[in-house]
Amino acid sequence: MQKIMVAVKRVVDYNVRVRVKPDGSGVVTDGVKMSINPFDEIALEEALRIRERGEAEEVIVVSIGASDCQQQLRTGLAMGADRAILVETGDRLEPLAAAQVLLKLIERESPELVILGKQAIDDDNSQTGQMLAALWDRPQATFASKLELTDGKATVTREVDAGLEVIEVDLPAVVTTDLRLNEPRYVKLPDIMKAKKKPLDTVPLADLGVGTDAQFKITNYAPPEQRQKGIMVEDVAGLVKALKDKGLV
């Protein structure tokens, strides 16, 4: 295999408590730590392990967004990716548009395997990988907890509601990763310094000819309701009465 392409998304770090803006127009991001989406970081780690086993020659990390996304791409390069591509846009792309952008990059780079996280922790759509496979007209294996490559095929153990399912798909293919696939490596300072010398290409979204018109409109953001304080009951009868008072039984 020559190339593996990995898509990563810039999101609010999972350790940060997300706050909604006072006017309900969005989420506060000013001064907030941003990171690679955790599922995408797992996808990149898996691609690097495949290359380190000698099963691929090059790992390309790509992202879509504003110039700030270069920070996450540099992190990907520090982890070990060979080069990076940023499709620069100030618009927030829906999953279908993101899949169309990735398809354009696939047509340019011709990777044998494309790996994405199963979902992003900001919108939780879990749609981009599936849409990309459909547009590319190639097999997909989603929610992967194990990935093996042999003789132009990928054997994927995927997590489903009933347990684990093992499927085999022909390459090229799209794989989306689950949490139990691996544990991403820690990035060391020397690797961060080396990453500054690795190529990072920027492509304006307009050059790819992909539209950004939104099919859905978000009208308002609101935090979840604050959890009510629990109460202590003396016995089962007290529990039943408390549930009845709340209209739960």
| 27-49 per-position pLDDT tens digit | 888 888 999 999 999 999 999 99
Which whole number is the average pLDDT over 2-30?
Answer: 90
What domains are there in the chain, each with its CATH number? 3-219 (3.40.50.620)
Tokens for 200, please give them: 């990072």
Give residues with Cβ within 8 angstroms of 190, minimum separation 6: none
Could you give the CA distance from residue 38 to residue 14 in angstroms, rounded to a whole number?
Answer: 8
Q: What pLDDT does 215 receive? A: 83
Of 116, 98, 111, nearest to 44 by C-alpha is: 116
| 179-201 per-position pLDDT tens digit | 999 999 999 889 999 898 999 99
Phi, psi of 136 (to 5 degrees): -80, -15
- The edge-to-edge listing of strands for the beta sheet with 58-65 is 163-170, 153-160, 140-150, 173-177, 113-117, 3-7, 58-65, 83-88, 200-204
* Degrees to nearest 5, angle at CA 179 with 176 and 182: 90
